[in-house]
Structure 1
């Protein structure tokens, strides 16, 4: 069992968001849906409406809450995906920016629910942990000029091409 779980606050779209997210990554699923009980007029939520959705993304546990409009997401927190290939970056970028999502700088984006993501090719992380400081500096500068990361261009910058 995972000791720490990410808890995400939505304004009425927790189930829609969780269903979308689990469709994107292998080893992902909805594990439980809890509905608001009927506790009277002063209780939060509408009786029968989805209150929380427990789900897993690539084996990591999350909970989505339909908490109302009081809070919204900020780019100060994001979900980072170590992508196995440029194809995975491209596929996830297209899906997550569709229907109102927005490109961001340096591999960041915001999905249609307002949640920020970072899509990072795993091979770029390997480049950045290597011993060639000049290569790392070139690759980092190249990344600063990108929205969706282009692994080929990052490798070329690292290699000085």
Structure 2
């Protein structure tokens, strides 16, 4: 299972991610006594991911590790690209490439890198 470590934004991030993709759902959120989210699991298009908040050390995400999502339709891909790149940055522009009819690579506002591709329509 992939685990993403945030510095105080984990719950905000998973609520955003589950609003971008479908099907998606938050499975579990565990709040420690101080009220800050510590641990959660969620599903994105059948893939289970885990997030934690680390309030001691801050670690940056890097594009050396990215989440790859195959979208079912062009509309889904376009919407995900628009939402994930908003306040983030485009690493590879949305377009046609030899390996995919439609593809983009973006870094979202939290620093998480996403490779979005179109499945066979």
Which category describes the TM-score, using the shorter chain as reference length? 0.7 to 0.9
1:75 CA drift (Å): 0.2
**Which runs of 5 or more residues in structure 1 are unaligned?**
38-46, 125-161
- Correspondence for 2:82 among 88, 94, 97: 94
* 1:30 matches 2:26: yes
Matches within 5 A, 1:138-153: none
**TM-score between both structures, scaled by the size of structure 1:** 0.63
1 or 2 for the larger relative contact order (CA 8 Å, sep ≥6)?
2
Establish whether residue 71 from structure 1 lines up as the match of residue 59 from structure 2: yes
Point out where structure 2 has 5 or more consecutive residues left out of the alignment.
94-103
Q: Normalising to structure 2: TM-score of the pair?
A: 0.83
| Match runs of 1:21-60 below 5 Å | 21-37=17-33, 47-60=34-47
* Over 6 Å off, 4+ runs: none
Q: Cα deviation per residue 1:9-63 (whole Å; 9 max; x = unaligned)?
A: 00100000000111122221111111224xxxxxxxxx22111121111121111
Q: Which has the larger radius of gyration?
A: 1
Higher relative helix content: 1
In the other structure, the counterpart of 1:83 is 71
